Amino acid sequence: MRQTTKRRRRTQPNTNITMLVLIGVLAVLLGIAIWVAVAVSSPDDSLDATGATGESTLDTSVQESTSGDAVTPMALTVTYPAAPDTITMVETVELSGTADPKKPLTVNGQSVQVAENGSFRYPFTLSLGDNEIVFVSGEETLRYRVHYRYAVQSYSPVADMQYFSGGTVRVDVIARQGSQLKVTLESKEIAMKEVSDQTGVLAEGFALFQGTYQLPDNNTSDLNLGKIQYTVTCDGKTETYSSGEITCQKSTEILASNPAVTPSYGEYKDVGSGYICEIIAYSAETFNGKTNDSKSEPIRNYLPKGTVDYASVNKVTNGDSAFYLLRCGRRVFEKKSNYPGGKVQVVDVYKGKLPDHNEIAVASLTQSGHHTILTFDTMWKAPFYFDLLPQKYYNAATRDYRVKELTAEYVDITFCYATVFEGTVNIPENHPLFKSAELIKRESDCTLRLYLKKTGGFYGWDSYYNENNQLCFQFLNPTPATVADNAYGADLTGIRVLIDVGHGGIDPGTVHRYNGKQYHESDFNMIMAQKLKKELESVGATVILNREDEKTLKADDRIQQYKATAADLCVAIHQNSVDDAPYYNGAEILYATPFSALVSQLVAKETEETGIYSKTELKWHYYYVARQSTCPVVLTENGFMSNETDLLNMLDDAVMTRKVQAIARGVVKYFLSIA
């Protein structure tokens, strides 16, 4: 019950004491409020990025350094835009970075609030085209240019380009669906046609438009054709762009040409017989000889170190790249990117003379470990074509190399210029990969056809010249898993899996800042790789990580490891990011070669069924490590660091484990399927 008391008159001294007590209580409450605010705004440093206790390896919060009572002022840094020149398709972006909170910060003259920890975020609406953004903090000034595009995501060619006489200029524009395009060169309009998405990486609402321009033939001097002009209109907005200078080189001078050395059919090109191109890298990727873009295709093959062929006198440029056209009709780069670390030499070109034909003799067919090795004696190290046929793609004519099903029934190895072939390839009845062989002879070359034991049953290959200068083809044999009573229902004993841990060292991959902390893709990749290793080893697999610390791996380092480990499968681990489009989310599972499609499909299916991601997409793409041919490669992009939901999942140890278990289930089901 409620008690009542009589009100008494208080004297002045009692009033003063009461006031002091009230002030004390308020001071205590204020202190508690401040402590709570700090605790809420500052994550517990005892928790790492996975939620487990211990020192965080991902916590790179920006703080002012102190030495005694001295405080070092925080320098002005900008995290978005990520580069001085940035292109975006988003009209409103969030500018972000760090600055000294004790100094006023302005963006294009507008005052911007800086938090106590130095971070700032500022929404900015862009105008169509170039936008100059100037950040000023005290005496520091940083200038950025953000180019806002509405209709055009990308176009090519972009840079100065040189083409062979009689060649074809291929024009690509990725623009919003429904856009009107006008593309011209030499005041002549290039017919542009919408084609199917070749790689599966187009943003929703965008389409790929393609066209070609036939160049002059037999011109006696270099022709500068000017620039390609792109005009694109969509929703009442018009954008205009132009390429660099387009040059059609004069017809190559034929030196001491002997028509007999150039077959008159197929892809062969008469480049003369005065200059030899020799592959000096461990291998050289080949490209379509009719165009000069650098998009790789699974229907072209690598050529091993030591291969020689006649080449055109002139090298042709594609932006900052240069390549040579070989007599076999394929292009090879003079140098290739080896990120991080610049470019490396691929070929050497010099004057010389080659035999007018080649001779091939079967040396041996052996099995070593999980591989079949087919060895040949050759008169000289001529090029060859390697084809997996008849493999169906969505639309190879438009370079849409997605694979719906595996349809290949045989492998064709065409020995260029080989008019003599001695011996036979005898396939044992119990051979795990091939069932028979056939030789097809033509006037100026010959093809060895190896029939697969199972339709679509091809798993990878490599080629090299051994210590005896013999040409060797190394084929990966199928290695099935066995059914077992465990969490995955299989035993992978004897199966080797290479985990390609993306980025590392001086190459952190994508970097994203969230709630005052900076996160590196390479760290998330390592967490997932170690978890996947544990899962696969639990069912008997031999698992190799190509890095187990912050080691820097160049692109070629990774490919050499693919070859050296003789793995049955490679899983590449990556995370995605589109900093100016935080709404991008989900997982992407990618492959480049047809024999990588099945395992990628299974990993994508298992990943989707976890329900972790808002969407899971299976895509074809010509990523460098994915298009190597020694074994199937599935490249996983496990969410977008730039998307808050995906990032929080990366920071959740339990979710990361579920992601990895889905990948492991896909891998296990792949090896069970090839039994």
The residues pairing with 263 across neighbouring beta strands, listed in sequence order, are none
Mean per-residue pLDDT, 133-156: 93
pLDDT reading at 9 higher than 50:
no
Name which of 269-283, 438-452, 485-499 the model is least confident about.
269-283
Name which of 5-14, 253-262, 501-510 the model is least confident about.
5-14
Q: What sign results for the dihedral spanned by CA atoms 56, 57, 58, 63?
A: positive
Cis peptide, bond prior to residue 104, ω within 30 of zero? no
pLDDT reading at 7 higher than 80:
no
Q: What is the pLDDT of residues 419-436, one digit of tens each?
A: 999 999 999 999 999 999
Task: Rank 236-240, 366-370, 529-533 by mean pLDDT and report only the highest.
Answer: 529-533
pLDDT reading at 38 higher than 60:
no
For 164, 269, 309, 328, 444, the CA distances from 259, given in Å and listed in that order, are 20, 11, 15, 14, 12
- How high is the mean pLDDT of the chain? 86
What proportion of the chain, given as a percentage, has pLDDT over 90?
61
Per-residue pLDDT at 72: 60
* Residues sharing a CB contact under 8 Å with residue 462, sequence separation 6 or more, in sequence order: 473, 474, 563, 629, 630
CA angle 662, 664, 667 (to 5 degrees): 115
Mean per-residue pLDDT, 323-327: 93
Mean per-residue pLDDT, 432-442: 97
Mean per-residue pLDDT, 83-96: 88
Mean per-residue pLDDT, 321-345: 89
Per-residue pLDDT at 2: 34
Phi-psi region of 50 (alpha: psi -120 to 50; beta: other; left: phi over 0): alpha
pLDDT reading at 19 higher than 70:
no
Per-residue pLDDT at 197: 65
Per-residue pLDDT at 126: 94
Name which of 146-155, 261-270, 305-314, 412-421 the model is least confident about.
261-270
Per-residue pLDDT at 4: 32
Is residue 615 within 8 A of residue 115, CB to CB? The reply is no
Mean per-residue pLDDT, 594-606: 98
pLDDT reading at 10 higher than 70:
no
pTM here is: 0.75
Cis peptide, bond prior to residue 81, ω within 30 of zero? yes
Q: What is the pLDDT of residues 458-475, one digit of tens each?
A: 999 999 999 999 999 999
Q: What is the DSSP letter of 535?
A: H
DSSP letters spanning 363-375:
EEEEEETTEEEEE
Per-residue pLDDT at 201: 60
Identify the band that residue 1 occupies on the pLDDT scale cut at 50, 70 and 90.
very low
Is residue 96 within 8 A of residue 70, CB to CB? The reply is no
DSSP letters spanning 185-242:
ETTEEEP-EEE--SSS-PPTTEEEEEEEEEPPSS-SS-EEEEEEEEEEEETTEEEEEE
Per-residue pLDDT at 364: 97
CA pair distance 666, 618, nearest whole angstrom: 13
Identify the band that residue 25 occupies on the pLDDT scale cut at 50, 70 and 90.
very low
Question: Angle at which helices 521-537 and 653-673 pack, to 10 degrees?
Answer: 50
Per-residue pLDDT at 245: 92
Phi-psi region of 141 (alpha: psi -120 to 50; beta: other; left: phi over 0): beta
Mean per-residue pLDDT, 283-303: 88
Q: Is 83 exposed, middle or buried (0-12, 13-18, 19+ CB in 10 A)?
A: exposed
DSSP letters spanning 655-666:
HHHHHHHHHHHH
pLDDT reading at 554 higher than 80:
yes
Q: Which one is predicted more confidently, 453 or 203?
A: 453
Per-residue pLDDT at 49: 31
pLDDT reading at 59 higher than 60:
no
State the DSSP H helix or E strand holding residue 34, giving kind and residue range, or none if neither.
helix 12-41
Per-residue pLDDT at 51: 31
pLDDT reading at 310 higher than 80:
yes
- Please choose, from the candidates 307, 354, 277, 275, the residue with its C-alpha nearest in 3D space to the C-alpha of residue 469: 307
Q: What is the pLDDT of residues 224-269, one digit of tens each?
A: 999 999 999 999 999 999 999 999 887 754 444 444 567 888 899 9
Mean per-residue pLDDT, 396-406: 90
Instruction: Report the amino acid identity of residue 457.
Output: G
Q: What is the pLDDT of residues 267-285, one digit of tens each?
A: 999 888 889 999 999 999 9
Per-residue pLDDT at 580: 78
- 3-class DSSP string for 39-91: HHHCCCCCECCCCCECCCCCCCCCCCCEECCEECCCCCEEEECCCCEEEECCC
CA 397 from centroid of its chain's CA atoms: 23
Per-residue pLDDT at 586: 96
Task: Rank 148-162, 522-536, 617-631 by mean pLDDT and report only the highest.
Answer: 522-536
Q: Which one is predicted more confidently, 318 or 393?
A: 393
Identify the band that residue 167 occupies on the pLDDT scale cut at 50, 70 and 90.
confident
Per-residue pLDDT at 65: 39
What proportion of the chain, given as a percentage, has pLDDT over 70?
87
Name which of 3-7, 91-95, 549-553, 638-642 the model is least confident about.
3-7
pLDDT reading at 43 higher than 70:
no
Identify the band that residue 622 occupies on the pLDDT scale cut at 50, 70 and 90.
confident
Place of tokens 């099945």: 598
